[in-house]
């Protein structure tokens, strides 16, 4: 069997088109969503992300505000900028690009963002709201994974899901989302014993490890849906955390890297910005 490819690039393009239409409808009511992106320092990968976030924000008709600060900026100065953006009614979403320079306290910076404008969903209040079933801003990458899974499988209820990785930005919120959709969820990490056997029981396998080709083809339950979050740069180019060629023989469906989860992340950032704008204006959440 050869797995169906889950085309995240096409799905993300469709999502952005819907967001553009909803943005146009908001603009007709005199409301233009605005996203502020803050980049501290010159990390090359972060610069690429920030540039494409800005471009896509403008493409869907939203206002993009970019703030670039030198790497040696004192934390207090960054916090002062966040405080200004919190108060600015033209700014509906605030994203501080991670990683921050070592002299900054990442948690303190993220928690300084007003939770309603925290379109990355990393604020402790949003993490808590997600975990307790309250209305939250949901982190973009896991939200994108969930959309792809629902699109592929419909109702996820009762499925056995294994998430490899327990980071605050991918693994943990992914597990929360799958639990919210009534999956039976196992979170695996570097101390997990007999990971291959665990994975072989998974109807849904999400890999967010950061190691090229880590998940092998014979770990995959026949017919399973495999979501590869990993982005690893090796000599031959970009690869995921899953041995794609091997996994494709067993899985029912799988996301490629690139072209799978990656494009969904920015599309979900725009979706979150739209949601934040609607909520700020007392409107229902966009569908």
Q: Which are the catalytic amino acids?
A: 53, 97, 120
# residues near ligand NDP by CB under 6 A:
25
CB 146 within 8 A of CB 177: yes
Question: Is 141 a residue that touches ligand NDP (CB under 6 A)?
Answer: yes
Residues in contact with ligand NDP, shown as a per-residue x/- string from 264 to 283 under the rule CB under 6 A = -x------------------
Which residues within the stretch 246-265 sit at the binding site for ligand NDP (CB under 6 A)?
261-262, 265
* 3 state SS of 186: strand
- Of 104, 162, 185, 188, the residue at the interface with ligand NDP (CB under 6 A) is 188
Per-residue buried b or exposed e for 7-39, using 16+ beta carbons within 10 Å of the residue's own CB: bbeebbeebbebbbebbeebeeeebebbbbbbb
Binding piece for ligand NDP, criterion CB under 6 A, among 21-29, 114-122, 166-174, 268-276: 166-174
Cα distances (angstroms) measured from residue 20 to each of 11, 15, 147, 271: 14, 9, 18, 10
- Does residue number 191 form part of the binding site for ligand NDP (CB under 6 A)? yes
Binding mask 206-235 for ligand NDP (x = CB under 6 A): --xxxx-----------------xxxx---
Burial code of 128-143, b = ≥16 C-beta within 10 A, e = fewer?
Answer: ebbeeeeebbbbbbbb
At which residue do the structure tokens 């992340």 appear?
Answer: 265
**CA angle (182 as vertex; 131, 261 as ends), nearest 5:** 75
Range in contact with ligand NDP (rule: CB under 6 A) among 63-71, 178-186, 204-212, 242-250: 204-212
Cβ 26 to ligand NDP, closest distance in Å? 26
Closest chain position to ligand NDP (CB):
167
Can residue 193 be called a binding residue for ligand NDP (CB under 6 A)? no
176 binds ligand NDP (CB under 6 A): no
Q: Which two tokens stand for residue 258?
A: 């690139």
CA distances from 208 to 214, 229, 260 (A): 10, 5, 13
Residue ranges binding ligand NDP (CB under 6 A): 141, 164-167, 169-171, 188-192, 195, 208-211, 229-232, 261-262, 265
């Amino acid at each position: 069997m050869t797995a169906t490819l889950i085309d995240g690039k096409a799905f993300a393009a469709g999502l952005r088109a819907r967001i553009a239409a909803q943005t146009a409808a908001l603009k007709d009511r005199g409301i233009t969503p605005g996203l502020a992106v803050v980049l501290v320092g010159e990390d090359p990968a972060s610069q690429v992300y920030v540039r494409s976030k800005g471009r896509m924000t403008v493409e869907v008709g939203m206002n993009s505000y970019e703030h670039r600060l030198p790497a040696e900026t004192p934390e207090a100065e960054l916090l002062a900028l966040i405080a200004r953006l919190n108060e600015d009614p033209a700014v509906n979403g605030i994203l501080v690009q991670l990683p921050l320079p070592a002299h900054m306290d990442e948690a303190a910076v993220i928690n300084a963002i007003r939770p309603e404008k925290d379109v990355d969903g990393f604020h402790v209040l949003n993490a808590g709201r997600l975990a307790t079933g309250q209305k939250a801003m949901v982190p973009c990458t896991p939200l994108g994974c969930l959309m792809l899974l629902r699109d592929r499988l419909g109702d996820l209820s009762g499925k056995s899901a294994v998430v490899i990785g327990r980071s605050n930005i991918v693994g943990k919120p992914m597990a929360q989302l799958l639990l919210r959709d009534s999956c039976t969820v196992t979170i695996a990490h570097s101390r997990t014993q007999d990971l291959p056997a665990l994975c072989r029981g998974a109807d849904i396998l999400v890999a967010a490890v950061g190691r090229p080709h880590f998940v092998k083809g014979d770990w995959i339950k026949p017919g399973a849906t495999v979501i590869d979050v990993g982005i690893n740069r090796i000599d031959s180019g970009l690869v995921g955390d899953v041995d794609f060629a091997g996994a494709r023989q067993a899985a029912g469906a799988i996301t490629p890297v690139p072209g799978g989860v990656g494009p969904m992340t920015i599309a979900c950032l725009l979706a979150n910005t739209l949601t934040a704008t609607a909520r700020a204006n007392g409107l229902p959440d966009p569908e």
